[in-house]
Amino acid sequence: MTRAEPRWVLSRPRRTPAVTRTYCFPHSGGSPGEYLRWGARLRDHDIRAVQLPGRGSRLGEEPFTRMGALVEAVIGHLALDTPYVLFGHSLGALVAYETARSLRAWGLPGPDALVLSGTAAPHALPPRPSLNGLDGPELLAEIERLYGPVPATLHEDPELSTLLLGGLRADLEIVSGYRPVMSEPLSCPITVLGGRDDDEPLDGLGAWRAYTSGAFDLRLFPGDHFYFRESPDEFFDHLDAVLTRTAAPDLHRHGPVGPVASVSRAVAG
């Protein structure tokens, strides 16, 4: 595994060691900025936001449109310091799972836990149509029909919309073209989180239970697909407890993970 490149991982400086190191994968069209802000609420944890091509400071780079190629790039460019946790929301949850599965297949150290949010297990996903042929306004309308409202600025600022829709369109191509490969369950614990008012069916969230031989936990919060924006206190309290519980055995063996040097710094190898 190569040393991580600075553009792939963003983090904020720490003055004290952290209990856990958690790599966070964004939802379709999402950017790492939201995860960076989580660090203020999860002060005991080293929150590292994965920045994929086609968003943020990498907006000019060609985004991935296939899950396999994306996961291969993630594993090739992120030096995943052990022990660590992978968190992902929506598309990010699928990327986190496929990353863990591929790490195991390649004989590389996997995560101590997965925290998967806002999506059904791979085999329970409903089919998603390709939206690649739609123009900007049509694409926005279909996204809102399928996934809920987008930020108003995307409707009000055509130039910004054009910039951002390229990455979002590519992400949606990943979703529509995703064909999961069934394999043996992972051994790490899996925690699944979701919103009570989300369209994601409870059975689909619960279906993640079959993907681990370890501990499994499912927790629903008030709110829709982005429940963590609607119920932040309840969400962050629970996530803090999940991460701390996950790290408990490793604290005895490894000690706390070290501080991060600066924002946008590469992950230490």
Q: State the pLDDT at residue 153.
A: 75
CA distance 27 to 255: 31
Pairing mode, strands 216-221 and 113-117: unpaired
Q: Examine residue 88 and state whether it is found in any structural domain, yes or no.
A: yes
Q: Examine residue 16 and state whether it is found in any structural domain, yes or no.
A: yes
Q: Which residues are catalytic?
A: 90, 225
HSE value, Cβ hemisphere, 13 Å, CA-based, for 79: 11
Q: Which two tokens stand for residue 142?
A: 């279909």
Q: State the pLDDT at residue 39.
A: 92
Q: State the pLDDT at residue 265.
A: 27
Q: State the pLDDT at residue 260.
A: 36
pLDDT tens across the length of the chain (269 residues): 445 567 899 998 888 889 899 999 999 888 888 999 999 999 999 999 999 998 888 888 999 999 999 999 999 988 887 789 999 999 999 999 999 999 999 999 999 999 999 999 999 998 777 767 777 778 778 777 766 677 777 777 777 777 777 788 888 899 989 999 889 999 999 999 999 999 888 999 999 999 999 999 999 999 999 999 999 999 999 999 999 998 765 544 445 554 433 232 222 22
Q: State the pLDDT at residue 121.
A: 97
Predicted model pTM: 0.86
Number of domains composing the chain:
1
Interhelix angle 158-177/67-77, rounded to 10 degrees, is: 100
Q: Examine residue 227 and state whether it is found in any structural domain, yes or no.
A: yes
Q: Examine residue 1 and state whether it is found in any structural domain, yes or no.
A: no
Structural domain range at position 31 = 6-128+185-254
Q: State the pLDDT at residue 257.
A: 55
The domain spanning residue 230 has which CATH number? 3.40.50.1820
Strands (E), the chain: 9-10, 20-25, 45-50, 85-89, 113-117, 190-195, 216-221
Q: State the pLDDT at residue 124.
A: 94
Phi then psi for 45, rounded to 5 degrees? -125, 145
CA distance 173 to 170: 5
Q: Examine residue 92 and state whether it is found in any structural domain, yes or no.
A: yes
Q: Examine residue 177 and state whether it is found in any structural domain, yes or no.
A: no
**Around Cβ 131, how many Cβ atoms within 10 Å?**
17
